[in-house]
Amino acid sequence: MPTLNVDLGDRSYPIYIETGLFNQAGFLVSEITTKKAVVVSNETVAPLYAKTIISALTVAQLKVELIELPDGEKYKTLDTFSHIQTRLIELGCSRDTTIVALGGGVIGDMAGFSAACFQRGIPFIQVPTTLLSQVDSSVGGKTGVNHPLGKNMIGAFYQPKAVYIDTNSLSTLSEREFNAGMAEVIKYGIMYDYNLFEWLERNAVTIKARDPDALRHIIYECCKIKAEVVKLDERENGVRALLNLGHTFGHAIEAEKGYGVWLHGEAVAAGMVLAAKLSNMRNWLDMSKFGRIQELISYFQLPITGPAEMDANAYIKHMKRDKKVLDSTMRFILPSDIGKAGVYDDVTSDELTDLLG
């Protein structure tokens, strides 16, 4: 079984990547040292996989409960977080309880934040079921909820005890959800690894067909990069900010349109093209490489422009509330080449107006 390790001293944890992992009875048990487990999932994922997970834990003589939430980014709120906390109390949970986050990025973020806050911290395990969560959000310990005024504005850095990735879960994803996950995959190539970007170009057809070997490869490579970056900068004080390529623009789109109207990956895809275009306007990224970025993103039916009705003022309104803002100065992640990006705080209002209209 391919295994990676996120090296964070006493907070280190493994990432397991395998096809058919959910069918290996008891696969979770080695990482759960408590007497009780609560599986947090949603109404879409729970009917598919919760029974398998609960059975494995029950066989290991753990007491298991299920908290099933509505599905969608619009439910990633303080109200839902409060509901989870209430259910944990009602179920008699304590520090000898482990939360199992079974679902996509929304479930992982909310279950992780709930684990971070309940009785000041209980263990949790990530079992991501979407491509986006498998390659990105399940690794690194970012947890939280959205606020009407900004994406992921309320949360905590709280690392899981393990991440279990079964690539078979991708077979149940809609094409739109799968493509949204590919935005985060492409991101790693643009901001960090030219060889990965080139591999994605060569194997795009195979990936789109969801070939198991191709999926395992991209998940492994993305998780490896994420683990390397998190080891260097767990709390996003430096290099980890590069993982937000496309997110400053993307989060503004999500906040303006309403969470869930554009999928997170769709907004990030448009945001990456905007970041690349800004870099091209600065004469850093040449037109041929800008074109390659657009072409790869377009191949997975992802947007390469933001909403037509959003002008510069609409973007800036939200970007000024972005978590990367320091001393009231907006910061942008811009690619200077494929495989190389940096954080810049010198983007002017004129540049943004020229870029966004």
For the chain, what are the domain ranges? Answer: 3-172, 175-356
Query: CB of 167 within 8 A of CB of 219?
Result: yes
- 317-328 burial string, b = 16+ CB within 10 Å, else e? ebbebbbbeeee
What pLDDT is recorded for position 133?
A: 98
- According to CATH, the topology of domain 175-356 is Dehydroquinate synthase-like, alpha domain (1.20.1090)
- For residues 215 and 206, what is the distance between their CA atoms, to the nearest angstrom? 9
- The residue annotated as part of the active site, out of 76, 264, 277, 331, is 264
- The residue annotated as part of the active site, out of 236, 254, 256, 266, is 236
* Known active-site residue 236: yes
What pLDDT is recorded for position 240?
A: 95
* Known active-site residue 83: no
* Known active-site residue 256: no
- The residue annotated as part of the active site, out of 142, 151, 277, 289, is 142
- The residue annotated as part of the active site, out of 31, 73, 184, 256, is 184
- According to CATH, the topology of domain 3-172 is Rossmann fold (3.40.50)
* Known active-site residue 195: no
* Known active-site residue 240: yes
* Known active-site residue 152: no
Phi, psi of 267, deg, nearest 5: -65, -40
* Known active-site residue 18: no
DSSP class of residue 45? T
- The residue annotated as part of the active site, out of 151, 217, 247, 318, is 247
- For residues 323 and 318, what is the distance between their CA atoms, to the nearest angstrom? 10
What pLDDT is recorded for position 30?
A: 80
- For residues 282 and 121, what is the distance between their CA atoms, to the nearest angstrom? 46
- The residue annotated as part of the active site, out of 87, 187, 217, 251, is 251
Instruction: Record the pTM.
Output: 0.93
- The residue annotated as part of the active site, out of 42, 179, 244, 280, is 244
* Known active-site residue 251: yes
Low-confidence ranges of the chain (pLDDT < 70): 1-2, 25, 327
- DSSP letters, 237-303, are SSGGGGGGTTHHHHHHHHHHH-BTTB-HHHHHHHHHHHHHHHHHHTTSS-HHHHHHHHHHHHHTT--
The pLDDT tens digits for 109-137 are: 999 999 999 999 999 999 999 999 999 99
What pLDDT is recorded for position 325?
A: 75
The pLDDT tens digits for 173-204 are: 999 999 999 999 999 999 999 999 999 999 99
- For residues 210 and 269, what is the distance between their CA atoms, to the nearest angstrom? 20
Is the C-alpha dihedral spanning 87, 136, 203, 23 positive or negative?
A: negative
- The residue annotated as part of the active site, out of 120, 237, 283, 309, is 120
